[in-house]
Amino acid sequence: MPYRAPVEEYQFLFEHVVGLPKVTETDRFAEATPDMTAAILTEAGRMCEDVLAPLQRAGDLHPAHLENGVVRTSPGYAEGYKAIAEGGWVSISASPEHGGMGLPMTVTTAVNEMMSAACLSLQLNPLMTQGQIEALDHHGSDAIKALYLPKLVSGEWAGTMNLTEPQAGSDVGALRSRAEPNGDGSYAITGQKIYISWGDNDFTENVCHLVLARLPDSAPGTKGISLFLVPKIIPNADGTLGARNSLHVVSLEHKMGLHGSPTAVMQYDGATGWLVGEPQGGMRAMFTMMNNARLGVGGQGIGAAEGAYQHALAYALERKQGRSPVADGTGTILDHADVRRMLLTMKADIFAARAIALSCAVAIDMQTAGQDPAWGARAALLTPIAKAFGTATGVAVAEMGVQVHGGMGFIEETGAAQYYRDVRVTAIYEGTNGIQAMDLVARKMMDRGAAAFALLDEIDTTAKAAQSALTDLAAPVADAARTLRETVQWLVAQDDLNDRFAGAEPFLRGFARVLGGHFHLTAALAEGGNGAHTKLARFYITRMLPEHIGLFAHARTGAADLYTLSADELSQ
Q: What is the DSSP string of 231-271?
A: ESEEEPTTS-EEEEPSEEEEEE---SS-TTS-EEEEEEEEE
Number of structural domains found in the chain: 3
Predicted confidence (pLDDT) per residue in 102-138, tens digit: 999 999 999 999 999 999 999 999 999 999 999 999 9
Residues 12 and 137 in one domain: yes
Cα dist. 173→139, 159, 294 in Å?
A: 20, 23, 20
Mean residue pLDDT across the chain: 95
Q: What is the pLDDT of residue 332?
A: 94
Q: What is the pLDDT of residue 490?
A: 98
- Examine the fold and report which residue of 247, 282, 317 is the final residue of a domain before the chain moves on: 282
Q: Is the pLDDT confidence value at 400 over 90?
A: yes
Residues 65 and 179 in one domain: no
Q: What is the pLDDT of residue 134?
A: 93
Calpha distance 21→29 (Å, rounded): 10
Residue positions annotated with a catalytic role: 430
Residues 78 and 192 in one domain: no
Which of 344, 330, 194 is CA-nearest to residue 267?
Answer: 194
Yes or no: say if 175 and 165 are a contact pair by the CB < 8 Å rule.
Answer: yes
Which of 560, 549, 418 is CA-nearest to residue 481?
Answer: 549
- Please report, rounded to a whole number, the percentage of residues in the chain having pLDDT higher than 70: 100
- Examine the fold and report which residue of 282, 316, 348 is the final residue of a domain before the chain moves on: 282
Residues 206 and 118 in one domain: no
Residues 137 and 170 in one domain: no
Q: Is 198 helix (H, G, I), strand (E, B) or coil?
A: coil
- Examine the fold and report which residue of 266, 282, 298 is the final residue of a domain before the chain moves on: 282
The verdict on residue 295 lying in a domain is no
The verdict on residue 393 lying in a domain is no
Which of 307, 304, 340, 347 is CA-nearest to residue 324?
Answer: 340
For residue 526, what are the contacts with CB-CB under 8 A and spacing of at least 6?
12, 16, 17, 533
Which range marks the domain in which residue 559 is found?
Answer: 448-572
Calpha distance 435→338 (Å, rounded): 34
Residues 185 and 122 in one domain: no
Cα dist. 418→65, 259, 342, 404, 489 in Å?
A: 19, 10, 18, 14, 42
Calpha distance 452→434 (Å, rounded): 19
Yes or no: say if 232 and 294 are a contact pair by the CB < 8 Å rule.
Answer: no
Predicted confidence (pLDDT) per residue in 11-69, tens digit: 999 999 999 999 999 999 999 999 999 999 999 999 999 999 999 999 999 999 999 98
Residues 515 and 566 in one domain: yes
Instruction: Between 536 and 330, name the one with better pLDDT.
Output: 536
Which of 397, 417, 398 is CA-nearest to residue 407?
Answer: 417
Residues 185 and 249 in one domain: yes
Predicted confidence (pLDDT) per residue in 280-336, tens digit: 988 888 777 777 789 999 999 999 999 999 999 999 999 998 888 888 888 999 999
Residues 258 and 189 in one domain: yes
Q: Assign 1 a pLDDT band (cuts: 50, 70, 90).
A: low
Residues 13 and 102 in one domain: yes
Please state which of the ranges 164-168, 368-372, 439-443, 448-452 shows the lowest mean pLDDT: 164-168
The verdict on residue 572 lying in a domain is yes
Calpha distance 469→467 (Å, rounded): 6
Residues 391-411 have a mean pLDDT of: 97
Residue 219 belongs to domain with CATH number: 2.40.110.20
The verdict on residue 365 lying in a domain is no
- Burial of residue 305, with CB atoms counted within 10 A of its CB: 0-12 exposed, 13-18 middle, 19 or more buried: buried
Calpha distance 156→329 (Å, rounded): 52
